[in-house]
Structures are given as C-alpha cells and as structure tokens.
Chain A
Amino acid sequence: MGVPTKSELEEALAERIGWELAGRFSSASVALCGLGGLGSNIAIALARAGVGRLHLIDFDRVDISNMNRQQYAVRQLGMEKTQAMRENILAIAPYCEVVTDQVRVTEENLERLLKEDDIICEAFDVAENKAMLVNGVLERFPEKYLVAASGMAGFSSANSIQTRRITSRFFLCGDGVSDVEDGMGLVSSRVLVCAGHQAHAVLRILAGENDKSSS
C-alpha cells in the first residue's frame, strides 16, 4: 500500500475527532524546545493528532544514552535530533510542515526563534534552562501559550504527574519535585506520562477546552 493522500489522512482523522477540531489542530503551529524524552514524545503525539506545523529546536545529536526514553531508532544514532525527528514525524504524518532549528535556545535568540509559533513547549532537561525559557517566553510573548514541565524522574507513581494552570497562558506539567539530580534516573514510562500531559495540554488549548476548567 502506498502513502495515503493528504485528504485521505485528513478524512480518517476527522472521522475520529470531527472536522472542527481537525481544522483547529491542522492550522496550529507548535514549537518544541528540546527533543529529548519530553520533546520527542510530545512531537509524535502532536503529529498523530494532526497538528499542522511543528517547529523542532534542539542543538544535540541522537546518543546511545537517549535510547531508554526518546523516540529515535538505533539507526539514527549520531544524527542531528532535529533531522532524526523530522524523519520520524514525516513517517507518521507525511503532510505535516516540519520546521527545524539545530541550535541551542538562549535568552538572546529565543525571541527570533519563537515568534512564528502559537504554542511553545518547554522540553529541556536542565532546570536553569527550563527557568530561562519560561521566564523569557512569558516576559516577551504575553500573547502566546506556554506548556512547561518540571518533575518526572524516578519510579514514583505516574499518578503524581499533573497539569496545573499557573496563569491564563502558562501550564505546568509534572510532579514538581522529582529531580534527576537527586540520583533518580529517567524512566521511559514516567517521562512519557509527563510528555503526554504536555501534548494533551497543547491539544486542549487548541480545542478551547481549558477555558472550561483549571487545568
């Protein structure tokens, strides 16, 4: 069987979620800042949900230490993460517009990098970088939505990972406390739960669902 046409895929999606939601998702642009355990899993979930434009940002290459939780194949070891993730997204959603920036996000470049995106996902791993991006986005882009994560290391219950709405446009996922620096490793299933919270927060924003509740 060959690659389905764009309209075949759109119809299959609309059969599941309706044309209105499918339209909202396909006209959205979402930035993934970081393509590790969080960002790679968020990207796949959003591609499957039919988000029309994904902006992938990471400076790193796929490493053997990533294989325990990140959505890459061993044949992609050594590749730039932005290119490897572009391949993986297009294998699922061939008509998704994938934009890549193989660069480290800094206070200096974040405004230029993120100006085109509607919703920004913070998916870094270092606490200081998370804080830098969150403060930078909230200070410089008051009109955009931000979905960040803090606390998903270790083997604690997956149920302790939650989504909280901090301001009208800032959502925070995670348990808030499980720090990888405390010696707890990152486990695929719990990182996936947190990434799932982030992806779901993005889709709820696009669907207008969060206007009805606190998270």
Chain B
Amino acid sequence: MVRINGKNIEASGKLLKDYLLEAGYDITRLAVEKNGDIVPKAQYDKTILEDGDALEIVRFVGGG
C-alpha cells in the first residue's frame, strides 16, 4: 500500500508517472512530495512507488 493524499492506495511497484496519468492528474499543474521531499519532475518516470511510501500530490488551480 502507498499512502497518497491521506488515503491508502494499491500502487506499489508502479512508476510515479504512470500512477499520476492513470489517476487523471495533469502533470503540468502539480508538485509531488514523497516521504518529506519534493520529487523532481525529471524523476517522475524513474521513481517507482514502494510499499509504505507516503505521497502528497499538490494540484494547482488558477487564480491569483
């Protein structure tokens, strides 16, 4: 199980990029924190989600 935005999700073994796309995220409008650190964008297609990882996916919406 991977904890993503406070929910336990069956995503162990998946590439971060694949998870984001499957879950419907727009990669150009987010930032990803994993276990306390930000994941660089260039690492999305190299980062494999592991059992016990905790992720916070921050989605940006327009307005300011």
B38-64 interface code vs A (CB 8 A; 1 in, 0 out): 101100000000000000101111111
Question: Do A138 and B38 contact each other (CB < 8 Å), given the known contacts A131-B30, A152-B64, A170-B33?
Answer: yes
> Is chain A's interface secondary structure helix, strand, loop, or mixed overall?
mixed
The reply on A145 being an interface residue by CB < 8 A is no
The reply on B36 being an interface residue by CB < 8 A is yes
CB contacts (< 8 Å) of A178 on chain B: these are 61, 63
Complex Cα–Cα for A135 and B28 (A): 10
A150 in contact with B36 (CB, 8 Å): no
Categorize the interface residue count of chain B: 10 to 19
The reply on B22 being an interface residue by CB < 8 A is no
A135 in contact with B64 (CB, 8 Å): no
Size of chain A's interface in residues, with CB distance under 8 A?
37
Minimum CB distance partner of B63 in chain A: A180
Sample (25) of A-B pairs whose CB atoms are under 8 Å apart: A34-B64, A127-B29, A127-B60, A127-B61, A130-B64, A131-B28, A134-B58, A135-B31, A139-B40, A139-B41, A150-B58, A151-B61, A152-B63, A153-B61, A153-B62, A166-B56, A167-B33, A167-B37, A168-B36, A170-B33, A172-B58, A176-B61, A181-B61, A184-B63, A186-B64
**What 19 new A-B contacts, CB under 8 Å, besides A38-B64, A135-B31?**
A123-B64, A124-B64, A125-B63, A128-B28, A128-B60, A130-B29, A134-B31, A134-B60, A138-B31, A138-B38, A139-B40, A139-B41, A150-B58, A153-B62, A166-B56, A170-B33, A170-B38, A178-B61, A179-B63
A interface residue numbers (CB < 8 A to B):
34, 36-39, 123-128, 130-131, 134-135, 138-139, 148-153, 166-168, 170, 172, 176-181, 184, 186, 191
B interface residue numbers (CB < 8 A to A):
28-31, 33, 36-38, 40-41, 56, 58-64
Nearest 6 CB-CB pairings of A with B:
A179-B61, A180-B63, A125-B64, A138-B38, A153-B63, A130-B60
